[in-house]
Amino acid sequence: MEKKNIDWSNIGFGYVKTDKRFVSNFKNGAWDGGVLTEDDTITISECAGVLQYAQTVFEGLKAYTTEDGRIVTFRPDLNASRFADSARRLEMPVYPEDKFVEAVLNTVKANEAYVPPYGTGATLYVRPYMFGSSPVIGVKPAEEYQFRVFTTPVGPYFKGGAKPITIRVSDFDRAAPHGTGHIKAGLNYAMSLHAIVTAHAEGFDENMYLDPQTRTKVEETGGANFLFVTKDGKVVTPKSNSILPSITRRSLMTVAKDYLGLEVEEREVLFDEVKDFAECGLCGTAAVISPVGKIVNKDQEIVFPSGMEEMGPITKKLYETLTGIQMGRIEAPEGWIVEV
Ligand code: PLP
Ligand code: COI
């Protein structure tokens, strides 16, 4: 398979149109079989549910070229089941989980020429999504839906790759208690746009959101969960019903325990504790593990002992083990790696 002529090592996190995408429609209460198509455009009613009331959910995962040249995906079954949870919460039909995985694998295969070669630091990002396509004007779910999967080659989510970033505590909330913070719905990201634009304008890379009810507990960022490391080497990650259950975080907890022999705590994390942690990182499909060097909250500045130049030592071990598993250098737990 001849690869496309792309400067793989220098791409950022952006959209590049690839050759094929998967499309399936839900009509009269059933999904059709779906097709791979070259058409990257969509024509829908001006009154489609997605356009009026934001009825849309999505997923994000990656395809990797392993050291021995295979193309693999990482735990796509977990994306399938989270996608089903997201759909149910927005009163959308569930796309069958086995068909979801099949659609992901087939779309990656059809765009093999865009899967970045091993060792370039780039990967193929896969974006499955679904939206209400039929007209609704009273507030209610659409009757027809479209499920699609496209791919785009990507580099690091944060400019500078593995360099620690600076974040701030946001004045805005991301998710209400008992709201939609735990699902991957477009509306959660629309909510975060003003906060991220103002954060960037003020020189910060991301926002830390606190729990909206008490504003004392750490939730997550706009696109990743938090991992902290205590001074005595324990891995701590916030537990909350209003954050997205990150597949990267769940995997890192296993890596920390079973591969690195570290103690792991998933629990409520008070913002007041953060100043006492030794390391901080953001974890997610796009972020992988991005080290945080500094957190600003109004007049308070927390600088982690790991500093602004290097990843902390435990963050680095977690990063190397996880990416080692994803790229086939380290043996994966049963079922984590699914070959295309
Ligand atoms: N939190 C939010 C808000 C996200 O958008 C993402 C990205 O998917 C994550 C966390 C990380 O989740 P995952 O590791 O499953 O990609
Ligand atoms: C992902 O990590 O897949 C996401 O969806 C995060 C997004 C902000 C790019």
- What residue spans of the chain are helical by DSSP H? 49-53, 76-89, 97-110, 186-201, 247-254, 313-326
The span from the CA of 27 to the CA of 78, in Å, is 26
- Answer for the pair 135, 45: CB distance below 8 angstroms, yes or no: yes
Compute the distance from residue 176 Cα to the ligand 1 centre, in Å: 17
Atom 1 in ligand 1: which residue has the minimum CA distance?
Answer: 224
Compute the distance from residue 226 Cα to the ligand 2 centre, in Å: 14
CB of residue 60 inside a 6 A radius of ligand 2 = yes
The span from the CA of 73 to the CA of 298, in Å, is 41
Compute the distance from residue 28 Cα to the ligand 2 centre, in Å: 32
The first and second tokens of residue 138, run together, are 């009273």
| pTM score of the predicted model | 0.97
pLDDT tier for residue 157 given thresholds of 50, 70 and 90 = confident
Q: Which atom of ligand 1 is nearest to the CA of 60?
A: 8
Is residue 34 located within the same domain as residue 128? Answer: yes
> Is 16 part of a structural domain of the chain?
no
Q: Which residues span the domain enclosing 79?
A: 21-154
Task: Give the number of domains in the chain.
Answer: 2
Residue 116, helix vs strand vs coil: coil
- CA 262, 79, 238 angle in degrees (round to 5)? 40
What CATH number should be reported for the domain holding residue 106? Answer: 3.30.470.10
35-76 per-position pLDDT tens digit: 999 999 999 999 999 999 999 999 999 999 999 999 999 999
Is residue 186 located within the same domain as residue 304? Answer: yes
Q: Which atom of ligand 1 is nearest to the CA of 79?
A: 15
- Answer for the pair 124, 115: CB distance below 8 angstroms, yes or no: yes
CB of residue 86 inside a 6 A radius of ligand 1 = no
Catalytic residue among 20, 62, 99, 184: 184
- Is the ipTM here above 0.95? yes
pLDDT of residue 158: 81
Answer yes or no: 159 catalytic: no
pLDDT of residue 129: 98
258-311 per-position pLDDT tens digit: 999 999 999 999 999 999 999 999 999 998 999 999 999 999 999 999 889 999
CB of residue 156 inside a 6 A radius of ligand 2 = no
Q: Look over the chain and give the mean of its residue pLDDT values, rounded to a whole number.
A: 96
> Is 280 part of a structural domain of the chain?
yes
Is residue 173 located within the same domain as residue 304? Answer: yes
Q: Which of 154, 187, 211 is the last residue of a domain?
A: 154
What ligand has the least distance to the C-alpha of 238?
A: 1
Strand pairing category for 21-27 and 279-284: unpaired
> Is 130 part of a structural domain of the chain?
yes
Compute the distance from residue 275 Cα to the ligand 1 centre, in Å: 24
